Structure 1
């Protein structure tokens, strides 16, 4: 007899997904153990398997959730910016010390791209779909003569900014890190926003 999910069960499942979404962006796939994840969610490890068949299934869903959260955040930033400044607002946020210092709520690409490239097919497929969602949501903000060109430009911008963000996170000197972020902000705003 199979169990039907109730609202409490769904809420618990969502707690696990929320914790996984944050933990994956902070610690990566390999360093996200089930014990620590379930502790972060305030649950016991034994309850995990009631909600997910294995870690791979959780990672796949958490990647999708994290991408949606990221895309929603970018669209909100753009919506709140003055007309003509939407892309600039996105660049300024992405390459900010606040984004650098809070990977748990930050960009999935910056957190998982290199690791996902070495992951299994399901995780790579989920990551690829997640990037597609993000690019689809931000492409209208980018210059380009066609939707395809705007999507390509969005991919170029996101990929290169994620690299800068990773280096800024790795630098031990905060002043050096902030100088890199500031220089990158100026470069991308000039290159993509025409300023």
Structure 2
């Protein structure tokens, strides 16, 4: 009986540590989108996760390691949202549905849970290599996902249109969030949405 107890306790501790680690990463994934990489401090993350600052190094080797995991979590959440949306509509409507959701007013207002590329794009070039690697991988995946919605997927034209589509989506969302004029914000996203929809037909 005692040997069973001894075997179970390490597993319980490991599971608890893993759950705590995931909680920190989830908090950090929201925080970096809300406040940016440079505006996200270790102490604030740990406090929001309900932990002490000193517990940080039991989970991460460095702040950069945490940021890389947080970026990965944010990218995974974003990709999962898009994949879920695509799965619920006929293939011919997938790209249009993606554009409508991405360039919606709701997405403009949902910085904390929205696309990490638009929330963090201008800061990413100044981050550590492991953070940039995560962003680069997500960009490649999004380009491929968009290209797969084209009738000529696999051809150079589909890939090139996907590059332009993603660039326009992210840039439009970034600008729509940046301005303090609601009318201009709406115009930026609506113009991009209209242009991309017509270009995809």
Q: TM-score, normalised by structure 1?
A: 0.89
- Provide the residue aligned with 1:150 in structure 2: 158
Gap regions ≥5 residues in structure 1? none
Distance apart, 1:143 and its partner CA? 4.9
Count matched residues: 191
- Provide the residue aligned with 1:79 in structure 2: 87
- How large is the Cα RMSD of the aligned pairs? 1.9
| Aligned ranges 1:1-195 → 2 under 5 Å | 6-144=14-152, 146=154, 149-192=157-200, 194=201
Distance apart, 1:14 and its partner CA? 0.2
Distance apart, 1:28 and its partner CA? 1.2
- Three-state SS of the structure 2 residue aligned to 1:146 is coil
Gap regions ≥5 residues in structure 2? 1-9
Q: Distance in 2 between matches of 1:142 and 1:67?
A: 23
Larger of the two Rg values belongs to structure: 2
Q: Conserved in 1, the CA contact under 8 Å of 2:91 and 2:149?
A: no
Distance apart, 1:107 and its partner CA? 0.9
Q: TM-score, normalised by structure 2?
A: 0.86
Taking CA–CA contacts closer than 8 Å with sequence separation of 6 or more, which of the two structures ends up with the larger relative contact order?
A: 1
Distance apart, 1:144 and its partner CA? 3.7
Distance apart, 1:120 and its partner CA? 2.5
Deviation sequence 1:97-125 (CA, Å, 0-9, x none): 11110111111211122211122222222
